């Protein structure tokens, strides 16, 4: 123990590594996850150290830096989703995503006052009951910024310990409760959500993609054929495509020469041509060219892949089925669509929204044409633009300096809130301007994962020694009751409003309820319950909106409860 106490960086990364390992354990699919495990492992290590007379303490600068990196990473992730939330079709999901966090905050603030809980309990209960670990940081910001003074007899360490304690007590039901509610609320209401999902699938052409797994089926293919049909020989490539627009002539081999695919090229008997198209098209007109041949030289054609940001007004709100017979049919394959960073099930009636991201592959000329047709094509590198990262961080700290009068004092977003807003601004601009200031997903995930787990681990380590002095059975019971109410009541009210007032399809409402609590687990369980991907359609916008609200509400929970 003394070795760990003398080597704080080893202590930190030992805690992070142990937390990730513990977080992998689950029972029937349910587990703590690495973030919740970090605060428990940190507390246990610190408590064990204190029994040997060793007090673990890690630098507050390191803790703040990790949290700030996390907050900026969150802003980068949710920025485009906020812009998507402005779409008129998403307004109901936005409203539900505001109702749930506000109700959770209100219940926590009421409970802390009603039961007379110690300072720090409200912030921890909000973070745990709403399973938003980032709220721990904003709760601490209320103290570190000086906006909330310590109560008489309370120390900074005791407040941190109470935040950690309340978080740990309320987190388990916060996770399990929302999963169970999203899964079984339709049954409680006497609604057949599976039937509703099937009806939505039929009317909107949304297939169930959750259980597809690895498949050998490829809708796009490239094959080689020898020209033997006299009706094709003697025609130009342009004339051939005019008769068969579902094919793309990619290459022509004549003797030892590769001639390319200029539209004025005249096809001759014995030529080998490489055709690209949908699999069903490749088998629909057998013999129109001639026999298929395994000619490697003609087929040695590099394919391209890209991410396309939907920006052109002409394709927005247009269902995908309208593009089936367009000029790109059979030339590119749409692998997936992301809306607000969340994969979206693809169906014939799926409509494109502004700032959706299309992941496509296919022939390079076709991919380039798709980029100009739908919006902006992104071929960014995997390198992180550290200049933009630095500028974004500085902007966030400057925004955090802005203060205004409230609660009888001068308050503001603080560094954490400023960085969150800065990340949203940067990612929103990058989504419009050809992905400038590139921050690849892998780099952003490092900011979020390492930042949050490291921060929470330090909170647990620094608070652990104080837990034994504050933990009593009665306090723990009161915290659990408040957390139970804050976890359970908001989703039920959100479901009732969405079902009875907004008339949302029950399968969609399951995903919207999960999004309103900013938790992907319930959406995944809801999709399994109804045997459909439909719940994922309503999840992304609410997930982004509620995630930001719950993150900053830790601060307000501390301010309003005292």
Q: Which domains does the chain have, with CATH numbers?
A: 1-206+439-561 (no CATH), 229-290 (3.30.70.1450)
pLDDT in tens, 339-352: 766 666 676 677 78
pLDDT digits (tens, 9 = 90+) for 61-74: 887 788 788 778 77
pLDDT of 326 above 70: no
Per-residue confidence (pLDDT) for residue 472, from 0 to 100: 62
Confidence tier at 322 by pLDDT (50, 70, 90):
confident
- Answer whether 518's CB lies under 8 Å from 533's CB: no
Reply yes or no on whether the pLDDT at 215 is more than 50: no
Structure tokens at 5: 């106490």
Tokens coding 557? 């929970």
Strands 357-363 and 342-344: unpaired
Percentage of the chain beyond pLDDT 70 is: 80
Residue 281: is its pLDDT beyond 50?
A: yes
Reply yes or no on whether the pLDDT at 214 is more than 50: no
Burial class (CB in 10 A: 0-12, 13-18, 19+), 349: middle
- Taking each continuous run of H as one helix and of E as one strand, the counts in the chain are 21, 11
Mean pLDDT of 406-412: 55
Q: Alpha helices, DSSP H only, in 258-357? A: 279-282, 296-299
pLDDT at 513 over 60: yes
Q: 259 or 225: which carries more pLDDT confidence?
A: 225
State yes or no: pLDDT of 427 exceeds 80. Answer: no
Q: Give the pLDDT of residue 157.
A: 77
Quick check: helix, strand or coil at residue 333? strand
Look at 477 and 300; give whichever has higher pLDDT. Answer: 477
Query: What is the rounded average pLDDT of the residues 85-100?
Result: 79
Check residue 469 and give its pLDDT.
56
Asked if the model's pLDDT at residue 111 lies above 70, the reply is yes
Torsion of CA 213, 443, 42, 132, to 10 degrees: -70
Distance CA 414, CA 208 (A): 43
Q: Which two tokens stand for residue 362?
A: 């296919």
Where is pLDDT greater, at 262 or 81?
262
Q: What is the pLDDT of residues 435-487, one digit of tens each?
A: 555 666 667 677 777 777 887 777 777 766 555 555 566 888 899 899 999 99
Helices marked H in 306-440: 364-374, 386-400, 414-432
As a whole number of angstroms, the distance between CA 19 and CA 384 comes to: 27
Question: Average model confidence (pLDDT) for the chain?
Answer: 78
**pLDDT value of position 84:** 56
% of the chain exceeding 90 in pLDDT: 10
pLDDT tens for each residue of 238-257: 888 888 877 778 788 888 78
255-264, 368-377, 435-444, 487-496 — which is least confidently predicted? 435-444
More confident residue, 217 or 98: 98
Best CA proximity match to 486, nearest among 446, 517, 531, 508: 517
How many of the other CB atoms lie within 10 Å of CB of 127?
35
Q: Is the pLDDT of residue 30 over 70?
A: no
Enclosing H/E stretch for 489: helix 473-496
pLDDT for 466: 58
Q: How far apart are CA 224 and CA 173, in angstroms?
A: 59
- At 441, list the tokens: 């997903």
pLDDT, mean of residues 194-203:
80
Nearest 5°: phi and psi at 309?
A: -85, 120
Average pLDDT over residues 128-137: 83
CA torsion through residues 208, 210, 214, 219, sign = positive
């Amino acid at each position: 123990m003394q070795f760990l106490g003398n080597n704080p960086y080893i202590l930190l990364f030992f805690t992070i590594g142990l937390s990730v390992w513990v977080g992998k354990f689950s029972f029937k699919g349910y587990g703590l996850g690495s973030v919740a495990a970090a605060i428990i492992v940190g507390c246990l290590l610190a408590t064990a150290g204190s029994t040997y007379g060793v007090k673990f303490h890690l630098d507050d600068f390191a803790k703040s830096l990790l949290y700030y990196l996390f907050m900026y990473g969150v802003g980068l992730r949710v920025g485009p989703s906020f812009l998507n939330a402005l779409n008129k079709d998403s307004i109901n999901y936005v409203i539900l995503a505001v109702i749930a966090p506000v109700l959770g905050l209100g219940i926590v603030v009421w409970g802390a006052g009603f039961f007379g809980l110690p300072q720090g309990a409200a912030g921890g209960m909000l973070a745990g009951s709403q399973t938003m670990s980032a709220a721990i940081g904003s709760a601490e910001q209320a103290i570190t910024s000086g906006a909330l003074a310590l109560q008489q007899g309370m120390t900074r360490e005791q407040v941190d310990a109470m935040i950690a304690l309340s978080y740990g007590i309320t987190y388990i039901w916060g996770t399990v409760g929302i999963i169970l509610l999203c899964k079984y609320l339709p049954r409680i209401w006497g609604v057949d959500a599976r039937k509703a999902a099937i009806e939505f699938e039929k009317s909107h052409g949304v297939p169930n993609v959750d259980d597809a797994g690895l498949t050998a089926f490829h809708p796009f293919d490239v094959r080689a054929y020898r020209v033997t049909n006299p009706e094709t020989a003697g025609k130009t490539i342009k004339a051939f495509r005019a008769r068969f627009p579902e094919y793309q002539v990619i290459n022509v081999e004549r003797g030892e020469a590769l001639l390319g695919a200029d539209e004025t090229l005249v096809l001759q008997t014995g030529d080998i041509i490489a055709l690209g198209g949908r699999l069903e098209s490749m088998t629909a007109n057998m013999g129109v060219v001639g026999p298929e041949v395994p000619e490697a030289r003609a087929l040695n054609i590099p394919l391209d892949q890209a991410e396309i940001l939907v920006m052109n007004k002409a394709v927005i709100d247009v269902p995908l089925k309208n593009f089936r017979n367009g000029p790109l049919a059979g030339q590119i394959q749409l692998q997936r669509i992301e809306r607000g960073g969340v994969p979206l099930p693809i169906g014939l009636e799926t409509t494109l929204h502004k700032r959706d991201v299309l992941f496509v592959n296919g022939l390079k000329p076709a991919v380039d044409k798709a980029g100009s047709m739908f919006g902006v094509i992104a071929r960014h590198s995997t390198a992180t633009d550290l200049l933009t990262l630095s500028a974004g961080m500085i902007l966030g700290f400057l925004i955090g300096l802005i203060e205004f009068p409230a609660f009888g004092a001068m308050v503001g977003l603080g560094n954490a809130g400023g960085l969150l807003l800065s990340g949203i601004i940067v990612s929103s601009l990058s989504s419009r301007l050809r992905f400038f200031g590139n921050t690849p997903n892998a780099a952003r995930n490092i900011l979020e994962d390492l930042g949050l787990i490291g921060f929470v681990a330090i909170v647990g380590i620094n608070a652990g020694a104080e837990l034994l002095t504050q933990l009593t059975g009665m306090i723990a019971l009161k915290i659990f009751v408040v957390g139970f109410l804050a976890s359970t009541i908001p989703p039920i009210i959100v479901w009732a409003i969405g079902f009875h007032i907004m008339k949302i399809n029950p399968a969609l409402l399951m995903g919207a309820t999960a999004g309103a609590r900013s938790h992907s687990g319930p959406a995944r369980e809801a999709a399994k319950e109804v045997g459909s991907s439909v719940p994922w359609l309503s999840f992304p916008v609410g997930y982004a909106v509620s995630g930001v609200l719950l993150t900053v509400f830790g601060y307000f929970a501390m301010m309003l409860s005292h």
